[in-house]
A and B are shown apart, each in its own frame.
Chain A
């Protein structure tokens, strides 16, 4: 099993530039999450998908962040334009989505963004 795959692992951009992150969840996992992790802090939820539907995006800064999960599998997270404060690790996670495994998250390796 490949686990949750994310790309790119590292991205350095100048402020005001756009950036996109991609995530491929574990096969069969209906729920997909995007988390933001600042240095020295715990992950903070940005958006949660149940299949292709965004069921919780209350923490997503919608003026510059967008996400999609077409066909209910892969997902992309986009920032446009990026700001200095967006420098962080963007973690994708997935879970079965129902039953006893509903909240058991498996994380990807993360995409580390540096905005100059």
Chain B
């Protein structure tokens, strides 16, 4: 089945700096890669996603890049703000269409 690894597990950044989270996946048939943000005690919420026919997608301060050859994808947050502090999860679909989540990255943005 699909195996998704996510790094780093924790990330501290100064407000205004950029944050990058990286994920790798194992199933070459994976074709959908969403990112979820989960604030403490709240539900995971989809913030951006990318499909395998696209290399990069951007939405305001967040962007995702996908390298199918290397089987890795990354989340980029620019001009970080305190409200960006949360746990971020990457995920990838396996060949059965099932989403496999990474272990999460705790992002802390310090003012």
Q: Do A and B bind each other?
A: yes
User: What is the interface of chain A, defined by CB distance below 8 A to chain B?
Assistant: 40-45, 48, 56, 91, 102-110
Interface size class of B (residues with CB under 8 A): 20 to 34
Contacts of B45 in A (CB 8 A): 107
**Min CB gap A41→B, angstroms:** 6
17 contacts between A and B (CB under 8 A): A40-B103, A41-B103, A42-B6, A42-B91, A42-B102, A42-B103, A42-B104, A48-B98, A91-B43, A102-B97, A103-B32, A104-B46, A104-B49, A105-B46, A105-B99, A108-B43, A110-B43
Question: How many A-B contacts at CB < 8 Å in the complex?
Answer: 43
Report Cα–Cα, A48/B101, bound state, in Å.
Answer: 15
Partner of A42, one of B43, B89, B97: B89
Report Cα–Cα, A43/B87, bound state, in Å.
Answer: 12
Contacts of B102 in A (CB 8 A): 42
The answer to whether B43 and A45 have CB atoms under 8 Å apart is: no
- What is the chain A residue whose CB lies nearest that of B93? A103
Q: Is the interface of B mostly helix, strand, loop or mixed?
A: strand
Within 8 A of A (CB), among B31-45: 32, 34, 36, 42-45
Report Cα–Cα, A43/B98, bound state, in Å.
Answer: 12
User: What is the interface of chain B, defined by CB distance below 8 A to chain A?
Assistant: 6, 32, 34, 36, 42-46, 49, 89, 91, 93, 96-99, 101-104
The answer to whether B42 and A103 have CB atoms under 8 Å apart is: no
Report Cα–Cα, A105/B44, bound state, in Å.
Answer: 9
Report Cα–Cα, A27/B42, bound state, in Å.
Answer: 21
The answer to whether B101 and A43 have CB atoms under 8 Å apart is: yes
Report Cα–Cα, A70/B37, bound state, in Å.
Answer: 31
Contacts of A102 in B (CB 8 A): 97
Report Cα–Cα, A99/B36, bound state, in Å.
Answer: 20
A91-B44, A105-B46, A107-B44 given. 11 additional CB < 8 A pairs? Answer: A41-B104, A42-B103, A43-B89, A43-B101, A44-B101, A45-B98, A103-B34, A103-B93, A103-B97, A105-B99, A107-B45
**Min CB gap B11→A, angstroms:** 15
Given contacts A103-B32, A104-B49, contact A43 B97 (CB under 8 A): no
